Amino acid sequence: MSGLTHTRILASLLLAGAVAACATTKPTEEELAYEAEVKQTELMRATDSQREEIKLQDPMTQATFWSLEYEKSPGDVVAATEFAKALRGIGSEQRAAEVASQTLSLAPDNIELLVILGKSLLTSGDPGAAVDVLRRANNLAPDDLTVLGALGVAYDQTGRHREAQATYRRVLQNDPNSASALSNLGLSLALTGQAEEAETLLRRAVVQPEAGTRERQNLALVLSVQGKFEEARSIGSTDLPDALVDQNIAYFKSMLTPKARSYTALRGTQD
């Protein structure tokens, strides 16, 4: 809509308000047409270029944009998918799961929606349901590494560590230097008492270009489990305040027996 059109619409709306106040003159056909145009514009979906440009904005702006797009047309699978992704980006995992689940009734084989739903269920504390969703996605796309990575985490969170490890190894067969797969496999091995192999994998993970805080903290975690506290403290302090690192070290000193280890316990440190 041009600037001139916006000006004309604004003028007509102001005029319409004044006319209504007088209660003696009805809106003209032109005024009614402008009002209808405004309402129609509000209902129109954003253009492809607008949808592309929004990806450069901050997470909250993206969530607001896609919320409006989804509200205009809940049956728009693209808008629903982007809205669910944006919701995850601002931490609204349960709402993201709701949107993804509802939209899957329209597009049951949409891999991206299945992954969003699975990851949201994981983060929301329902790993059992996440396993079911992600296995469904894996059946549809057996070689999708994103699906495999998420499924491995879901297996770990439900205590199915051997299945998790096999799943991570499938990722590494296709992408040997995947920092996330190396890190997750290392953590899973630590859970089953294979700390030395876990350490080897995590040392590989932290030197990958895409490695970040999670990979470094997982290495510090596995070093702590082995009692290598000084090196763990050195690596941990790369990303965390010293006081928090010391708190995490103390936590692991208190759980150095295999019986004390679980996925939840090992991920009990703060990051």
> Which contacts (CB < 8 Å, 24+ apart) does range 69-76 have?
69/45, 70/99, 72/43, 72/44, 72/45, 73/45, 74/102, 74/103, 75/106, 76/45
Q: Would you say residue 222 lies in a domain?
A: yes
Cα separation, 70 vs 255, whole angstroms: 47
Mean pLDDT across the chain: 85
**Average pLDDT estimate for 117-124:** 97
Count helices and strands (H / E) in the chain.
Answer: 16, 0
Give the CATH number of the domain where residue 121 resides.
1.25.40.10
| Unique residue bearing structure tokens 């470094």 | 216
In the prediction, which pLDDT does 10 show? 37
Q: Tens of pLDDT along 43-94? A: 688 999 999 999 999 999 999 999 999 999 999 999 999 999 999 999 999 9
Residue that wins the pLDDT comparison between 234 and 261: 234
| Unique residue bearing structure tokens 């270029």 | 49
Cα separation, 94 vs 84, whole angstroms: 10
Tokens (6 digits) for 58? 């901050």
Give me the torsion for CA of 173, 179, 185, 186, rounded to 10°. 130
Q: Tens of pLDDT along 157-166? A: 999 999 999 9
Q: Would you say residue 34 lies in a domain?
A: no
Cα separation, 139 vs 224, whole angstroms: 37
Tell whether 264 and 187 lie within a shared domain: yes
Q: What is the pTM of this model?
A: 0.76
Tell whether 155 and 191 lie within a shared domain: no
In the prediction, which pLDDT does 265 show? 57
Residue 157's φ and ψ, nearest 5 degrees, are -70, -20
Number of domains composing the chain = 2
In the prediction, which pLDDT does 45 show? 86
Residue that wins the pLDDT comparison between 195 and 250: 195
DSSP state of 144: -
What is the longest distance spanned by two Cα atoms in the chain? 87
Tell whether 152 and 183 lie within a shared domain: no
Tell whether 269 and 181 lie within a shared domain: yes
Measured between alpha carbons, how far apart are the two ends of the chain, in Å? 47
Domain limits for position 201: 177-271
Cα–Cα distance list, 165 to 22, 45, 149, 172, 216 (Å): 76, 44, 10, 11, 20
Amino acid found at 25: T
Rg (CA), the chain: 26
Contact between 175 and 144 (Cβ < 8 Å): no
Tell whether 231 and 144 lie within a shared domain: no
**Average pLDDT estimate for 196-217:** 97
Contact between 202 and 183 (Cβ < 8 Å): yes
Residue that wins the pLDDT comparison between 267 and 19: 267
Is 246's pLDDT higher than 80? yes
Geometric angle at alpha carbon 170, from 199 and 85, rounded to 5° = 95
Tell whether 154 and 184 lie within a shared domain: no
In the prediction, which pLDDT does 15 show? 38
Structural domain ending residue among the three candidates 159, 189, 207: 159
Cα atoms in the 13 Å half-sphere on the side-chain side of 84: 26
In the prediction, which pLDDT does 38 show? 47
Tell whether 269 and 184 lie within a shared domain: yes
Q: Would you say residue 256 lies in a domain?
A: yes
| Unique residue bearing structure tokens 């090196």 | 231
Cα–Cα distance list, 202 to 85, 100, 164, 252 (Å): 29, 33, 16, 18
Cα separation, 31 vs 45, whole angstroms: 24
